[in-house]
Amino acid sequence: MSISGRADGQPMVFAHGFGCDQQMWRHVAPRFADRFKIVLFDHAGAGAADPSAYDPARHTTLQAYADDVVRLCRELELRDVIFVGHSVSAMIGGLAALSAPELFAKLVFVGPSPRYINDADYVGGFTDDDIDELLDSLESNYLGWSSVMAPVIMGNPDRPQLGAELTESFCRTDPDIARRFARVTFRSDNRADLPRIKTPTLVLQCSNDAIAPVAVGQYVRDSMPNASLVMLDATGHCPNLSAPDATAAAIAAFVAE
């Protein structure tokens, strides 16, 4: 965990997505350090987090990760938090706000998905078979899966260095924990939670996102009572790396409201 920015500023907590760590925010978070207290952390089992923090018996649901976020905020005595969550951390932040609404002032969901699997009239982007195949591939050859999937997830094939960075991040993650977290992530269904999240929320959506299609971002916006959607001038699933200017500008406009 790292804390920077204004000691007396409103806290902004940045949370990374699957296979990543807090370094994924290095192009965005510092832009708010002159006005806010910036808190970066690694989820249990990721990055430089204490290995003992990951509990395979407890971290079997996104709620466990949300509980970790709430515990972090309380231990640091944070209030009026602006929580910025990328990918799966968007739903983690939403669950944290449901558990402790008094701690959170605003939420920013970057490429969120409440459910990755299509269901009746809901378009999540994947079929059951797609997810089974993805998880089987990840189980059998995590490093091989990472080298193939990371560039697809990143998008932006004209900038292969971005895909290479995400590949390296995936490969630094403990394979056993990554397999478990992938199953928790891609089998999650938090659609019923969205209408209960009253915290003002900004949904940031990219085009050509292989993980969270535009329809998913629209669904999240429409399902929440106090949410707005901004389409970024960006492609892929990681605008915090591929389009930090647009990402930071959208967040800045939202937190200034």
Predicted confidence at residue 95, as pLDDT, reads 98
E strands, 50-200, in order:
81-86, 104-110
Residue 209 falls in the annotated catalytic set: yes
Give the pLDDT confidence of 166-203 residue by residue, as tens digits: 888 888 888 899 999 999 999 999 999 999 999 999 99
Beta carbons within 8 Å of 89's beta carbon, 6+ residues apart: 15, 16, 17, 43, 65
Write down the CATH number for the domain with range 2-255: 3.40.50.1820
Q: Which of 21, 67, 68, 209 is catalytic?
A: 209
Number of helices followed by number of strands (H, E) in the chain = 9, 7
What's the CA gap between 37 and 32, in Å, rounded?
8
Q: Which of 87, 89, 113, 146 is catalytic?
A: 87
Using the Cα atoms of residue 96, residue 99, residue 105 and residue 108 in order, give the sign of their dihedral: positive
Q: Which of 16, 59, 86, 237 is catalytic?
A: 237
Give the pLDDT confidence of 145-169 residue by residue, as tens digits: 899 888 989 988 888 899 998 888 8
Residue 43 falls in the annotated catalytic set: no
* Residue 123: other Cβ atoms inside 10 A: 15
Q: Which residues pair with 143 in a beta bridge?
A: none
Kindly list the domain boundaries of the chain, sorted by start residue.
Answer: 2-255
CB environment 94-116: b (16+ within 10 A), e (fewer): bbbbbebeebbbbbbbbbbbbbb
Looking from the CA of 134 toward its CB, the CA atoms found within 13 Å total 25
- Average pLDDT taken over every residue of the chain: 95
Predicted confidence at residue 48, as pLDDT, reads 84
Reading the block at residue 187, the tokens are 């089998």
Predicted confidence at residue 173, as pLDDT, reads 86
> Residue 22, exposed/middle/buried by CB under 10 A (0-12, 13-18, 19+)?
buried
Give the pLDDT confidence of 98-131 residue by residue, as tens digits: 999 999 999 999 999 999 999 999 999 999 999 9
More confident residue, 49 or 231: 231
Closest by CA to 162, choosing from 12, 7, 27, 67, is: 27
Q: In what order do the strands lie in the sheet with 201-207?
A: 2-5, 36-40, 10-15, 81-86, 104-110, 201-207, 227-235
Beta strand 201-207 with 104-110 is: parallel
E strands, 73-199, in order:
81-86, 104-110
Using the Cα atoms of residue 8, residue 12, residue 13 and residue 16 in order, give the sign of their dihedral: negative
Residue 87 falls in the annotated catalytic set: yes
Predicted confidence at residue 257, as pLDDT, reads 84
H or E stretch covering 10: strand 10-15
